[in-house]
Structure 1
């Protein structure tokens, strides 16, 4: 498996052979829908190494990157890792539009699965490849539309949440799918986040409320999360493109879901998005 060192990040602290072996394990496990009980190699101590593993796994997966998910680094680890957020790829085959019907949330048996209420931004324009840092104000210019969404998080690595953000970053960003729901209206039907900022989200698992929240749970709001996606995607050599999606972070928390459980995600004034967790099937 080819290892490419992202040009905008520090050099990885694992060898190319270690990075390639870990990435290959993740690709094989995801493709076969088989669980991993432990991290398949040395756990990265830094995000630069985790992104190198992620890049190798993306190259080995064989699907177009159609967007990115953004997730929080636990506050206790922010200083050591030098970041508040990390990103992971959302593949084209994993993006679905909510059409009002019942949903299915694929979970690898024995792996990790979760649902998260999020706001997804559709990118308005291609980002320059050579710009590696953005302010929230600069990121705002790339907001084409904001939609209610569900991130189906998870993957083959069962203890990913216990292992922390370098593990999650490595294993495809711990993303399985993105379900794009209704567009959030704005006063001028253009960009901006004011409409989203006024909404509340709630997640129910098997009919029980497990979390309520809003963009107040996103430090700096949607634009700050998008700024991280813009800068980090450029640093790893995949600058954002017009039409791609960025899922901007969990509004109510990360809610683990097991095969057979139901989830219902509600946004103020929108039709609820509901479905069942099902066993993920091996990829063709």
Structure 2
């Protein structure tokens, strides 16, 4: 869907607010009412932004909104310069928008190899995944109300993404039951969530399948090496500058970051 003049205006307003770190008290234009309208804004912003996309976040659409928006997931870009290494003891500082929305989420990260043109299902999509890691997604937008107006609004501003922390790889992912893996999330040492991936619809591979199909429908290329941040496992945990987030997967794979204002 080609962006209208209004959608281009919204894209430019979000880009300006992100570049200038200026909070938005209101949505900067007509709110998108469909996912197609949301992705038109998103695509326009990506084109204007000019940075390389190194991955895509996938988020869940609330069950009561699935019929209205025609699906149960949404996606947004993760730019290469905002993908940070959280291995080997590294605890990267991740920037969020002062006066906007900020949260951190424990996520499983899937790296896509050569996707090609073949059709996939929930099982065969694993054939194009060459690595699985633990990680933390940072969600942030200069619009504090981004998640209060439905998934189309969330998707329109990069899906509310502001970076990704790459944690340790899961070496035996092909042979183990990822859905049963326990995950804990802490902020400043206090446990704020725990769950398994059984709560994630059809799991992380379902997120990869959704992303491939959605990007193809939008005419977006999927080069090898793209990361899929597969969705919040323990919840969307709001966070403020100065705090630290820690995720622990299977009691042994740890990844952490701190949060600072941009």
Query: In structure 2, the residue corresponding to 1:30 is in which secondary structure?
Result: helix
Q: Confirm whether residue 276 of structure 1 aligns to residue 262 of structure 2.
A: no
Q: Aligned in 2, Cα 1:222/1:35: closer, same or farther, shift over 3 Å?
A: same
Name the residue aligned to 1:205: 187
Query: In structure 1, the residue corresponding to 2:123 is in which secondary structure?
Result: helix
How far off its partner does 1:226 sit? 0.5
Tell whether the 8 Å contact from 1:119 to 1:196 is kept in structure 2 after alignment. Answer: no
Q: Residue 127 of structure 2: which of 122, 141, 145 is its match?
A: 141
In 1, distance between residues paired with 2:91 and 2:109?
Answer: 20
Point out where structure 1 has 5 or more consecutive residues left out of the alignment. Answer: 6-14
Name the residue aligned to 2:240: 258
In 1, distance between residues paired with 2:25 and 2:163?
Answer: 22
How far off its partner does 1:175 sit? 0.6
How far off its partner does 1:18 sit? 0.6
Name the residue aligned to 1:115: 104
The root-mean-square deviation of aligned C-alpha atoms, in Å, is 1.7
How far off its partner does 1:259 sit? 1.3
Q: Aligned in 2, Cα 1:225/1:115: closer, same or farther, shift over 3 Å?
A: same
How far off its partner does 1:222 sit? 1.4
How far off its partner does 1:96 sit? 1.2
Q: Confirm whether residue 25 of structure 1 aligns to residue 13 of structure 2.
A: yes
How far off its partner does 1:243 sit? 1.0
Query: In structure 2, the residue corresponding to 1:275 is in which secondary structure?
Result: strand
Name the residue aligned to 2:48: 60
Name the residue aligned to 1:177: 163
Name the residue aligned to 1:85: 73
In 2, distance between residues paired with 1:256 and 1:134?
Answer: 35
Name the residue aligned to 1:124: 113
Tell whether the 8 Å contact from 1:136 to 1:227 is kept in structure 2 after alignment. Answer: yes
Query: In structure 2, the residue corresponding to 1:265 is in which secondary structure?
Result: strand
How far off its partner does 1:271 sit? 4.7
How far off its partner does 1:276 sit? 2.3
Name the residue aligned to 2:26: 38
State the TM-score, normalizing by the size of structure 2. 0.94
In 1, distance between residues paired with 2:50 and 2:86?
Answer: 25
Name the residue aligned to 2:223: 241
State the TM-score, normalizing by the size of structure 1. 0.87
Q: Confirm whether residue 16 of structure 1 aligns to residue 4 of structure 2.
A: yes
Q: Confirm whether residue 101 of structure 1 aligns to residue 87 of structure 2.
A: no
